[in-house]
Amino acid sequence: MLVGVIFLVLSLAAILLAAELFTNALEWFGRRAHLAEGLVGSVLAAVGTALPETLIPIVAVLAGSGLGHGQEVGIGAILGAPFMLSTLAMFVTGASIFAFRRRRRSGLALEVNQRVLARDVSFFLLAYSLGIAGAFLPLRAAKLALAAILLGLYGWYVSLHAREVAPLQHAEELDPLHFARAERVPGLPIVLCQAFAALALIVGGAYFFVQNVSIVAEGLGVPALVLALIVAPVATELPEKFNSVLWVSRNRDTLALGNITGAMVFQSCVPVSFGLVFTEWSPAALGASGMASAAIALVSTVVLFGVVANLGKLSGPALLSGGAWYLGYLALLALLPL
């Protein structure tokens, strides 16, 4: 188990390094390609950093059937990602706003594109509600149709972001590209090279992190269900959290929140579609713990952004409420039959 702990620390360091490389490359890619900020934050960054936790259920279900917990781990990872994003990721972002409040031009308030944020939240609530409701569909054909609908929703969501015309900040406001720090305006090939290298490091770091979390958890006697719903999603959500912290510190709030809310949309459409097609995806398979995590993800999102709709702004203190939802779920796990 000591070796597992050492590799946990090393993989965490790799993920942190990859997060910095990835955000830096994405900002330059958005600038060179004249992309809208919402498209970069809510689509490119969200999908890119969602790759680790997306691969876990695929590997668990398709390659882990002989392990006895493949379906359980896969469904737990699918449900755990939206839950972590809507609770713990929001809390971490809120805490970073407090930490950097003196260097931020807006202090504790967030300067976000409200249209982009409202779009993300609306798509998440619709898609994830449909996905969870799909567990109650008795016919496999109906579940396949719903999976196609969710994928279509995500395609529509990406197309809406692609129509935005507001570009990212000017090049002189960007930090130098790490792979070409001597160049004032790096070429697109070196930008893409850094982005793909960062993605590879994110995927590799997250893989080894989750692998060694499993070793440590087994040494401590942690149940497989708890590992699937809590430990694995926490490990694979690290890229989103640290990318958002970096963007918060640089006053790029639309990118920071879009990175999280965009990942919520992706996780509610693509992995859930995979679950509908390749797993049992029924109330019994999701279990009380899984259904509770889905309910909290939906309710916490409605409460948080419902407050924003009434007040007209989003702030660090409001995001901290995600921590309360997360702790409440942990307390609920102690009461649910595992």
The predicted-structure confidence for 81-112, as pLDDT tens digits, reads as follows 899 999 999 999 989 888 888 888 878 888 87
pLDDT of residue 122: 94
Q: What is the dihedral of CA 198, 203, 207, 208, to 10 degrees?
A: -10
- Tokens 């969870």 map to which residue? 132
Counting DSSP H helices and E strands in the chain, the numbers are 15, 0
Residue 338 lies in a domain: no
pLDDT of residue 87: 94
As a whole number of angstroms, the distance between CA 99 and CA 238 comes to 18
What is the DSSP code (8-state) at residue 184?
Answer: S
Q: Are 145 and 130 in contact (CB under 8 A)?
A: no
Q: Into how many domains does the chain fold?
A: 1
Residue 25 lies in a domain: yes
Instruction: Quote the tokens at residue 331.
Output: 């307390």
Q: Which is nearest to 22 in space by CA: 171, 213, 245, 232?
A: 245
Instruction: Quote the tokens at residue 76.
Output: 């737990």
Tens of each residue's pLDDT in the chain, 338 residues? 677 778 877 877 887 788 778 878 877 887 777 776 666 666 776 666 676 677 777 777 776 544 446 677 788 889 998 999 999 999 999 898 888 888 888 788 888 778 888 899 999 999 999 999 999 999 999 999 999 999 999 999 988 877 764 544 444 467 898 999 888 889 889 999 998 998 888 777 767 776 676 677 677 676 665 666 777 677 666 665 677 888 888 888 887 888 889 889 999 999 999 999 999 899 998 988 899 999 999 999 999 888 766 666 777 888 999 999 999 999 988 786 55
| CA-to-CA dists, residue 227 to 41, 52, 78, 82, 223, angstroms | 29, 16, 13, 16, 6
pLDDT of residue 296: 96
Residue 320 lies in a domain: yes
Query: In 10 A of CB 311, how many CB atoms?
Result: 10
Q: Which is nearest to 75 in space by CA: 274, 332, 336?
A: 274
What is the DSSP code (8-state) at residue 36?
Answer: B
Residue 144 lies in a domain: yes
CA 188-257-236 angle, to 5 degrees, is 80
pLDDT of residue 299: 96
Residue 14 lies in a domain: yes
**3-state class (DSSP) for residue 81:** helix
**3-state class (DSSP) for residue 109:** strand
Provide CB contacts within 8 A for 165, sequence distance 6+: 36
Residue 314 lies in a domain: yes
pLDDT of residue 66: 45
- pTM over cut 0.75: yes
Compute the Cα dihedral for 87, 89, 95, 97 and give only its sign.
negative
pLDDT of residue 168: 45
Q: Are 205 and 237 in contact (CB under 8 A)?
A: no
pLDDT of residue 222: 65
Could you tell me what percentage of the chain is helix, strand and coil, using 3-state DSSP and rounding each to the nearest 5? 80, 0, 20
As a whole number of angstroms, the distance between CA 288 and CA 42 comes to 31
> What is the helix (H) or strand (E) element at residue 290, kind and residue range?
helix 283-311
As a whole number of angstroms, the distance between CA 242 and CA 209 comes to 15
CATH number at residue 72: 1.20.1420.30
Provide CB contacts within 8 A for 151, sequence distance 6+: 269, 270, 273
Q: Are 132 and 291 in contact (CB under 8 A)?
A: yes
Provide CB contacts within 8 A for 49, sequence distance 6+: 19, 22, 202, 239, 240, 243, 259, 263
The whole domain housing 67 covers: 2-333
